[in-house]
């Protein structure tokens, strides 16, 4: 049926359970905050809310960095903001690639006129610190090291603290992709000395998609101040953005996404109420239960145990199973969204997200039950009862 203008009606969103790579389920409190009437971006009430929001973001990032704010765009704009401000034409940047987002970083470096030196690790593996060390020895003129702490495309966690330490030892700034890690697993910007970090609103913060929290430390600001050329993007130029988010100046720069910022304020407040370390522990606890249940279904993890992200569980699709059909059935029959593989892993893996508000027991149990039934439909010997039992046993372990 051809779509016509006159046939269009109000859109009613279906009720899903989001256990893919993000967005994650938004808590009713956050949805309520989002739907409040809009006010002006220069309204004193908005300015006060933003000061609180910056404080809450500093807590989430564990930083005292003054320049900590949400970029008015999705995570890719946060990423590009880091690169266009810190990379100048001719600059050599070491990019660690072990999934989709490292590849995107290379694109960013090159479009800034920089030279990307790529440290490759297999998809599904953590970044190897020794390879970074070797690359920096081979390229003593490198100025920046960029890597992804939590690779959403594979579920691999890299050792951010060590990678930052190596970068600094070789006189490089660090750019850290924390899109999926913020709020889900330990990230300590100040203790680790990360120089520029960007994240996303729709992963472990369970806020509406479209905002990218970022934070920049002193060394990054120093680099920015000493640039020879103007930042190539007007919108992302931190020199201009600074005047906007600085409470003392508040120069007009652009109209902020007011409603989305209401929502981010509320989701960060909920994170603070729970406590950051408690949130990290919660992600780990439900991950262990989901893992027990998935393994009881005979599914093997892509990432080895020591580098597994609790909030993104990638497993191999069993032989003979139509992976796209399974995802479609889960969505249609159970309103359950899980993620597919990307790039070289397309068609080969599923990605189960346990992010933010999506990360709770009822979702783990729903997911295991729905998956077992769907696999059984396709003739895969999946024992749903055993899977649920394994998950419940994991939950029963004290302090797990």
347 interacts with a copy of itself by CB under 8 A? no
Q: Counting every residue, how long is the chain?
A: 400
In the complex with a copy of itself, the residue whose CB is nearer, 233 or 284, is 233
Which of positions 108-167 make contact with a copy of itself (CB under 8 A)?
A: 108, 110-112
Question: What does 350-363 look like in DSSP terms, one character per residue?
Answer: EEEE--GGG-SHHH
Q: Which SS3 state, helix, strand or coil, does residue 146 take? A: strand
Contact in structure between 87 and 109 (CB atoms under 8 Å): yes
- Site map for a copy of itself, 187-226, x if CB under 8 A? -------------x-x-----xxx----------------
Q: Which of 115, 288, 321, 342 binds a copy of itself (CB under 8 A)?
A: 342
Rule CB under 8 A: say whether 262 interacts with a copy of itself.
yes
| Of 90 and 171, CB closest to a copy of itself | 90
Secondary structure letter of residue 314 according to DSSP: E
Under the binding rule (CB under 8 A), the answer on residue 1 touching a copy of itself is no
Nearest approach in angstroms of CB 71 to a copy of itself is 9
Binding pattern for the stretch 71-110 against a copy of itself, x by CB under 8 A and - elsewhere = -xxxxxx--x-----------------------x--xx-x
3-class SS shares of the chain: helix, strand, coil, % to 5: 45, 15, 40
Handedness of CA 71, 76, 81, 86 (dihedral sign): positive
CB 151 within 8 A of CB 314: no
Q: Which of 233, 284, 378, 389 contacts a copy of itself by CB under 8 A?
A: 233
Choose the binding region for a copy of itself from 8-16, 220-228, 299-307, 317-325 (rule: CB under 8 A): 8-16
| 258: number of Cβ within 10 Å | 17
Q: Is 37 an interacting residue with respect to a copy of itself (CB under 8 A)?
A: yes
Residue 249 as a binder of a copy of itself (CB under 8 A): the answer is no
251 C-beta neighbours (distance < 10 Å), count: 11
User: How many residues contact a copy of itself, by CB under 8 A?
Assistant: 81
Nearer to a copy of itself, 23 or 293 (CB): 23
Asked whether position 232 contacts a copy of itself by CB under 8 A, the answer is yes
Q: How far apart are CB 377 and a copy of itself at their closest, in Å?
A: 20
Q: Which one, of 336, 320, 203, 370, lies nearest residue 271 by Cα?
A: 203
Binding to a copy of itself, residues 368-387 (CB under 8 A): none
CB nearer to a copy of itself: pick between 111 and 169: 111
Ligand-binding site membership of 351 (annotated) = yes
Of 288-307, binders to a copy of itself (CB under 8 A) are none
- Residues 29-49: b if buried by 16+ CB within 10 A, e if exposed: ebeebbeeeeeebeeeebeeb
Q: Does 52 bind a copy of itself (CB under 8 A)?
A: yes
Q: How far is the CB of 39 from a copy of itself (least distance, A)?
A: 5
Name 312's Cβ contacts closer than 8 Å, sequence gap at least 6: 21, 150, 152, 155, 180, 351, 352, 353, 354, 355
Q: Which is nearer to a copy of itself, 202 or 387 (CB)?
A: 202
Nearest distance, CB of residue 28 and a copy of itself, angstroms: 9
C-alpha span between 91 and 271 (Å, rounded): 38
- Residue-wise DSSP of 38-99: P--TT-HHHHHHHHHHHHHHHHHHT---SEEEEESS-HHHHHHHHHHHH--TT-EEEEEESS
Q: Which residues are annotated as a binding site?
A: 351
């Amino acid at each position: 049926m051809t779509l016509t203008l006159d046939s269009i009606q109000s859109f009613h969103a279906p009720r899903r359970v989001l256990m893919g790579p993000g967005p994650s389920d938004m808590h009713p409190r956050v949805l309520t905050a989002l739907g409040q009437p809009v006010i002006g971006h220069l309204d004193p009430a908005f300015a006060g809310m933003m000061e609180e929001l910056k404080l809450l973001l500093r807590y989430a990032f564990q930083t005292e960095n003054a320049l900590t704010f949400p970029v008015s765009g999705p995570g890719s704009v946060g990423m590009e903001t880091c690169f266009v401000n810190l990379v100048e034409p001719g600059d050599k940047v070491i990019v660690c690639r072990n999934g989709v987002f490292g590849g995107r970083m290379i694109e960013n470096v090159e479009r800034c006129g920089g030279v990307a030196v790529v440290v490759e690790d297999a998809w599904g593996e953590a970044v190897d610190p020794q390879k970074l060390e070797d690359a920096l020895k081979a390229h003593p003129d490198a100025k920046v090291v960029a890597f992804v702490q939590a690779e959403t495309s594979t579920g691999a966690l890299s050792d951010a603290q060590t990678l930052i330490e190596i970068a600094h030892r070789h006189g490089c700034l660090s750019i850290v992709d924390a899109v999926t890690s913020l709020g889900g697993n330990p990230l300590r910007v100040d203790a680790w000395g990360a120089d520029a970090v960007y994240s996303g609103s729709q992963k472990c913060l369970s806020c509406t998609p479209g905002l990218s929290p970022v934070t920049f430390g002193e060394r990054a600001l120093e680099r920015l101040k000493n640039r020879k050329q103007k930042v190539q993007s007007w919108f992302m130029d931190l020199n201009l953005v600074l005047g906007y988010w600085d409470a003392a100046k508040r120069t007009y720069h652009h109209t902020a996404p007011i409603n989305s910022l209401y929502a981010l304020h509320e989701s960060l407040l909920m994170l603070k109420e729970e406590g950051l370390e408690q949130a990290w522990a919660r992600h780990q606890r439900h991950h262990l239960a989901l893992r027990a249940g998935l393994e009881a279904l005979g599914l093997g993890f892509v990432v080895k145990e020591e580098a597994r992200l609790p909030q993104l569980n990638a497993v191999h699709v069993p032989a003979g199973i139509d992976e796209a059909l399974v995802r479609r059935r889960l969505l249609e029959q159970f309103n359950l969204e899980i993620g597919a593989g990307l790039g070289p892993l397309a068609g080969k893996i599923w990605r189960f997200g346990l992010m933010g508000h999506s990360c709770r027991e009822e979702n783990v149990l729903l997911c295991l039950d729905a998956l077992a039934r769907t696999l059984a439909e396709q003739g895969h010997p999946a024992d749903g009862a055993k899977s649920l039992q394994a998950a419940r046993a994991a939950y029963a372990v004290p302090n797990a």
